[in-house]
Amino acid sequence: MRRILPFFMLFFALASCLPLGLAAQGKQAVPSTWDKAYFLSGHSRARFELDLSEAVINGVEAEDFKAMEPEWKTGVKDMTLDFVQAFNKAASSGIQPFRIGSTMETELCFVLKVGDVTEGGACVEGVLEVLSADGTLLFAKPVYARKGMFGTQLNLMGDALEVIGATLGDEVSNRFRVPDSNLKELKQVVKGLVKDGETIALRFEFSDYLLKQLVDRGYTNTADEAFVAGMEKTFLDSFKASLVKSLGPVSENKVFVADENPAGAVMTLKFIAVANRQDETDMFAEVFLERKDGTMVYGILNNGEITGLKKFCDLQMEKMGKKLGKIK
């Protein structure tokens, strides 16, 4: 059966985001770097909320500043639009395009909590939080920007938020461009499983977006089930051969393509997209390794090859499999 990961997904409605006074200890427990943001897997949209409730604007708390500023409502609307447009423009051309909007009904909510605003509004500090549909805090990242010299305080805040939006949009859509070092923990788990004689069942998912890219760029004439099966086999063979070279003999029945309900550990490989970098084309995948006890380890796998090679897909699968199976 063909196993395809849809690139664009419809999500259940998000009733509302959490009130913005979450406990500090909760923030410490969540990721703050995009290479650990596995919760974004498969998502292409998020609702956005600009929260100014705890902002201190040039020494004045938001509620007091609001009472003194007749253009507050219009200014907040404009600032929100500045952020959203800058984010979406930057994210539209990344490895995995992403969009945010104030009225979107999605499973994720991006909340920008503004803290200190100084220098007449030109300098903005805050935190980006990502919440799930049930209000669980998934991610928290400090943000900062300084932009603008002239204009009203609200206009200058909008300029700074535009910079923050563009930066975050680029980071979200290009979060797969990270060093392979984030695979270290995952590889050590694989090593432990192999040494203990545990089974590792592999699942493969290829996004519609990736398959369309491969056809559009001429790497294959058609991305049908036979083509996908060939990519899976090439990866599996290379991965197993690399494991044997790294760790010694591996029983044939210990690493295999998953059936419907595998009993041991399950490693899911989600092939996301390809993207150009100088004279190479990189292929990107996410790796989710779930152990029998339900705990999960995450990594990002990528490989680059010279653009235009006739065997591009086979080479990618071969070298990505080898890279994942090479364990010290």
Quote the mean pLDDT of the chain.
88
List, in sequence order, every beta strand (DSSP E) within 235-277: 255-257, 265-277
- Are 270 and 286 in a shared domain? yes
Q: pLDDT (tens digit, 9 = 90+) per residue, 134-171?
A: 999 999 999 999 987 778 899 999 999 999 999 999 99
Residue 264: pLDDT over 60 = yes
Domain, as residue range, for 247: 180-325
User: Of 119, 140, 173, which residue sits at a domain end?
Assistant: 173
pLDDT band of 22, cuts 50, 70, 90: very low
Mean pLDDT, residues 227-255: 93
Question: Domain boundary residue among 173, 203, 234?
Answer: 173
Residue 275 three-state SS = strand
* Alpha carbon of residue 307 to chain centroid: 25
pLDDT at 40: 94
pLDDT over 70, % of the chain: 90
Do 151 and 72 belong together in one domain? yes
Joined together, the tokens standing for residue 72 give 């507050």
Is residue 103 domain-shared with residue 196, that is, in the same domain?
no
Dihedral, 157, 163, 166, 167 alpha carbons, nearest 10: -120
Kindly state the average pLDDT of the residues 225-241: 95
Which ranges of 92-206 does DSSP label H, i.e. alpha helix? 153-173, 184-195
Q: pLDDT for 180-221, tens place per residue?
A: 667 889 999 999 999 999 999 999 999 999 999 999 999 999
Q: pLDDT tens for residues 30-70? A: 889 988 899 999 899 999 999 999 999 999 999 999 999 99
| pLDDT, position 179 | 65
Residue ending a domain, choose from 173, 200, 226: 173
